[in-house]
Chains A and B, each alone.
Chain A
Amino acid sequence: MKLDLLKAMNAARAARHACALVTRLDDGSQRFVAAERVAADPLAEELEAALRAGKSGTVERDGVGYFLTIQVPPVRLVMIGAVHISQALAPIARIAGLDPVVIDPRTAFATPERFPETPVIAEWPDEALQARPLDRYTAICLLTHDPKIDDRALTRALKAECFYIGALGSRKTHAKRLERMRAEGFDDGSLARIRAPIGLDIGAVSPAEIAVSVAGEIVAALRKKPLRAERA
């Protein structure tokens, strides 16, 4: 492996950018492919599938074997609101391989006692997300019911093109939210990416059941189609 390729892989990982290293197994030749350049690569189809699955593997093309080393950032789950649903969703998310974090400026909610194994940041979303910015490999759930808290995170999530944006609230609440976001300058295309009411329609009632439906919706958003921003 050329040192330059190794450096490119490491730099991409540090920046949370997806990428692949293609190794031709018969002669050892290699190339680095950034996720946004996949479409132009001869192995575009194979690379896209592997990146979507987040799995390295061997493929064959015209009798030649290639190994695809796939590097995708660990998927994060940001929950805005240290509420009951988050308490259930955090451990479910961890089991599913996501990296959960809870943000809530209300210090009565955002306590380590309520979230024994999950990082809890007792700050406003603007501060917390400044320090750890959202990106397309982040799922975000807006769960506080309080526009003062949720909206700041939502505008950031839309700009960062998070692969999943779920918002708690009735259709009426959501309609008002869309109005506020339109006033912020977001078009209908962006706003259509907000999933509300949050979660798959499985008739969930309790906070834990809603957490299950949200976890399912996140997995579907992650696995069922290529991440939007990477297609562009």
Chain B
Amino acid sequence: MTGADDDILTAAESWRAEGREVAIATVIETWGSAPRPVGSHLAIDSEGRFLGSVSGGCVEGAVVEEALDVIASGKPKTLEFGVADEAAWKVGLSCGGRIKVYVERVEG
């Protein structure tokens, strides 16, 4: 884990301590030239504020949107992004890689 990823989980904990609703997105699989390694995190709160990175900027917007859903429903989701994906036309990875991102709400 890089130092930056460490800060993200710490931030998620302190956001929750402030009473904010928080989701954590984690890159769980990559294929091809994915910009961020497996294990990279993005922390998102219910206002759409976020810290960290799962793709170096390509799909963060979409992940944040999905994270808001996850915060609302409490149900974790697995997202896939890549050039072969239909979503790619909206938020594709310009590098041509594919990534799978797991999004979950911080409970308690």
Q: Is A28 a contact partner of B9 (Cβ separation < 8 A)? A: no
Q: Is A6 a contact partner of B102 (Cβ separation < 8 A)? A: no
Q: Is B1 a contact partner of A3 (Cβ separation < 8 A)? A: no
Q: How far is the CA of A3 from the CA of B26 in the complex (A)?
A: 16
Q: Is B10 a contact partner of A10 (Cβ separation < 8 A)? A: yes
In the complex, whether A62 has a CB less than 8 A from a CB of chain B is no
In the complex, whether B45 has a CB less than 8 A from a CB of chain A is no
Q: How far is the CA of A93 from the CA of B1 in the complex (A)?
A: 17
Q: How far is the CA of A56 from the CA of B101 in the complex (A)?
A: 13
How many residues of chain B have a CB within 8 Å of chain A? Answer: 23
Chain A residue nearest to B17 in the complex (CB): A3
Which residues on the B side are within 8 Å of A112 (C-beta)?
none
Q: How far is the CA of A4 from the CA of B24 in the complex (A)?
A: 14
In the complex, whether B76 has a CB less than 8 A from a CB of chain A is yes
In the complex, whether B94 has a CB less than 8 A from a CB of chain A is no
- Given contact pairs A6-B13, A9-B9, A58-B28, a sample of 6 additional A-B residue pairs in the complex whose CB atoms are under 8 Å apart: A1-B104, A23-B104, A28-B75, A57-B39, A58-B29, A70-B39
B73 to chain A, nearest CB (A): 12
Q: Is A57 a contact partner of B38 (Cβ separation < 8 A)? A: yes
In the complex, whether B108 has a CB less than 8 A from a CB of chain A is yes
Q: Is A1 a contact partner of B39 (Cβ separation < 8 A)? A: no
Query: Residues of A at under 8 Å CB distance from B?
Result: 1-4, 6-7, 9-10, 13, 23, 25, 28, 55-58, 67, 69-72, 74
Q: Is B102 a contact partner of A2 (Cβ separation < 8 A)? A: no
Chain A facing B: main interface SS: mixed
Q: How far is the CA of A20 from the CA of B1 in the complex (A)?
A: 12
Q: Give how many A-B residue pairs fall within 8 Å (CB-CB).
A: 58
Q: Is B13 a contact partner of A1 (Cβ separation < 8 A)? A: no
A67 touching B104 in the complex, CB below 8 Å, given contacts A6-B13, A55-B38, A57-B38? no
Which residues on the B side are within 8 Å of A9 (C-beta)?
9
Q: Is A6 a contact partner of B106 (Cβ separation < 8 A)? A: yes
In the complex, whether B33 has a CB less than 8 A from a CB of chain A is no
- Residues in B4-41 with C-beta less than 8 Å from chain A: 6, 9-10, 12-13, 16, 24, 26, 28-29, 38-39
In the complex, whether B107 has a CB less than 8 A from a CB of chain A is yes
What are 22 A-B residue pairs whose CB atoms fall within 8 Å in the complex? A1-B24, A1-B104, A1-B107, A2-B107, A2-B108, A6-B16, A6-B24, A7-B13, A10-B10, A13-B10, A23-B104, A28-B76, A56-B26, A56-B39, A57-B39, A58-B28, A58-B38, A67-B102, A69-B39, A70-B39, A71-B1, A72-B1
Q: Is B102 a contact partner of A25 (Cβ separation < 8 A)? A: yes
A69 touching B26 in the complex, CB below 8 Å, given contacts A3-B16, A55-B39, A56-B39? yes
Q: How far is the CA of A9 from the CA of B10 in the complex (A)?
A: 9
Which residues on the A side are within 8 Å of B16 (C-beta)?
3, 6
